[in-house]
Structure 1
């Protein structure tokens, strides 16, 4: 028995129909040709297992994506590789192999499963999106003797995906998806912005390692096409810590056996205190290790050269405060239109952005690493959040964008006893 367009099989033709400017009713007999009996039995079993779950999907830059799903006790990771060179794809496979991932074929059941769940993310190749080309493929179904489309041909009509089977001992089966994305972008230049050189990428990778919940910020910073957007993503990591200096002060002043976050929450509940951004930035940088600030002041960051330290008895503390204020000014300069009343505007066009970004990375690593026990950062596999005063540390990315509805295994119960999915 052949499966007509509808349900699971419909997913195989959705993008071709869209490219051809057609609807399902125009080609009612669309189906796939028969595959071998042994293969059909195997794939039928695996598609039933797949249809009881939905994949994990995150959208990447340049219309890319990463998918992870489980099929019969094994996890699989999928990367869109359509725009990568053969060399870049080979480097990807070699790198992922160090984490226990091995190349895997595009199984028929995987293709249907991905077509169903990825929807328009899983596109037909550009050359096939032409209306006439798409219709040429579809109109075969109205010819006499039509026995179906070869599913392997349908696979080649779509953009290239690389499928990897994840070893059962690999952390990639449980790591948060944005952590995997940032890991790949940090270590493989084809997945990140040309702005980010290797040394800067490794600094960012350290942030993701220390604070996995910041991995989405790290990935976005790695793939930004302008330095200011890289700066913004790293600044967001600092914003999540605005409570920290106030919480530490409260904790130490009253000798509380609480974390800084808990101490700050208690003060907010009692006094309705809300920290101010400018003051919080300065106080955060006061908490940095002396060597980080000394190196930054002596370095090549242009915006730090004109910092005023005249009259300060403690020049190191003054440097920390001045750098904090300068970081906040850079943020405001990038966010707002030009301030014509600013008598000392910053020359950000000629800034040594690479060094400034490295300094931010080092500062973020120090604050999250040194004060980890006071942040209440918990790693979990459920949708858990750590909420502070005016910030939220989202430990698991939102899945609100995923609107896909998987096929229930019960749907197979309504089919006749003998059903050939591929014929």
Structure 2
């Protein structure tokens, strides 16, 4: 992403401000010069040193952004007034003009929903001496834009997975952002997965903000798909004393031999490799006769969701909220174990 031009950011805010007032108060005359938000010389210099590291990540109604300033990374959250993080390593800081304008332009910030156009118009007072007027105070006008919160991170985010790890943490620590009623145990299972970059991916993040249990389950299931060939590869490596990384062998099996593992057998093998304690937890949640293997039951549930009859059979109501929550929790624990075992 790189750096932004601070005057361009000010112009963007000014246009959003004028546009909102004009849409709500026709024929209103708004004059702002030379810029909307006042910055000191020090703030101008600071803004020139801020680096935007990754594309804005949009989750539900929120936008997340990572910036770097003087070898320190910050995560910025746009769209929620009371967001917090209970991680002691993440520190909330006051936002200044340089950080604000950078975040505003990078995220294409909008006017806060429900803002009063007449109040906004009155806030743009006529300066006594336009020749020396340099802009309005940030606190005066920021209340009319989407809220922006900034937090200092304890590490440098070199990869997008680290960025997503922190986004996931913010979601779990702010239950009002979640659409499903996860228990504390399941939220902790999510945090454990988020903290492990080996198994952190887009599907895990999507599952955490799913609006129904079946889609939450399905996104977690998809995290296991890249590991379908790994039980077979492990046997192959042991049998032939192959030292190549499993990922290299997996790529070769696909690109050269066009070979794919059978999904049902793969799921059975993956879940057979779980620790005895986790298998016991799965067994305690079963409602059937206990004959079918865990992996096969997971595979059957996946099929029931992805095929058309999932709607007809009302698969969402086939389990209670407590049962779905327990299953999601166990699936997350399984991902941790499987991604640790099969590398």
TM-score (norm 2): 0.80
Q: Corresponding residue for 2:96?
A: 107
CA distance, structure 2, for counterparts of residue 47 and residue 158 of structure 1: 20
Aligned equivalents of 1:137, 1:173: Cα separation in 2: 39
Question: Which of 1 and 2 has higher RCO (CA within 8 Å, sep 6+)?
Answer: 1
Task: Identify which of 355, 374, 380 aligns with 2:326.
Answer: 355
2:254 is the counterpart of 1:253: no
**1:31 correspondence with 2:34:** yes
- Corresponding position: 1:328 with 2:299: yes
- Please name the residue that 1:171 is paired with: 155
Taking the aligned partners of 1:248 and 1:21, their CA distance within structure 2 comes to: 65
TM-score (normalised: structure 1)? 0.66
Q: Does 1:338 align with 2:324?
A: no
User: Where does structure 2 lack aligned partners over 5 or more consecutive residues?
Assistant: 1-5, 24-28
Q: How big is the shift at 1:262? A: 2.7
- Checking the alignment, whether the CA contact within 8 Å between 1:46 and 1:72 is kept in structure 2 is no
In structure 1, C-alpha distance between the alignment counterparts of 2:21 and 2:170, rounded to whole Å: 36
What does residue 144 of structure 2 align with? Answer: 157
Provide the alpha-carbon RMSD of the alignment.
3.3
Which residue is equivalent to 1:7?
8
Q: What are the Cα deviations for residues 180-207 of structure 1, in whole angstroms up to 9, with x where unaligned?
A: 1122333443443441111011112222
The whole-number CA distance in structure 1 between the counterparts of 2:152 and 2:143 is 20
Cα contact 1:247–1:261 (8 A) shared by 2: no
Cα distance per residue 1:107-165 (max 9 Å; x no partner): 1222222222111xx2222232x666656666x67x99655651322222212222234
8 Å Cα contact 1:9-1:31 kept in structure 2: no
Aligned partners of 2:143 and 2:337: how far apart in 1? Answer: 48
Task: Determine the C-alpha separation between the residues in 2 that align with 1:292 and 1:102.
Answer: 35
Q: Is the 8 A contact 2:55 2:65 kept in 1?
A: yes
Q: Contact between 2:190 and 2:332, CA under 8 Å: does it hold in 1? A: yes
Highest Rg: 1 or 2? Answer: 1
Describe the superposition over 1:75-132 as per-residue Cα deviations: whole angstroms up to 9, x where unpaired: 3322236353xxxx4xx26x24x10x4333321222222222111xx2222232x666
CA contact (8 A) 1:105 1:163 kept: yes
Between the aligned partners of 2:314 and 2:9, the Cα distance in structure 1 is 58
Inter-partner Cα distance in structure 2 for 1:163 and 1:83: 11
Tell me how many residue pairs correspond in the alignment. Answer: 325
**Contact in 2 for aligned 1:82/1:160 (Cα 8 Å):** yes
SS of corresponding position for 2:149: strand
Aligned counterpart in structure 2 of residue 289 of structure 1, from 275, 292, 301: 275
SS in 2 for 1:78: strand
Q: Specify the alignment match of 2:110 in structure 1.
A: 123
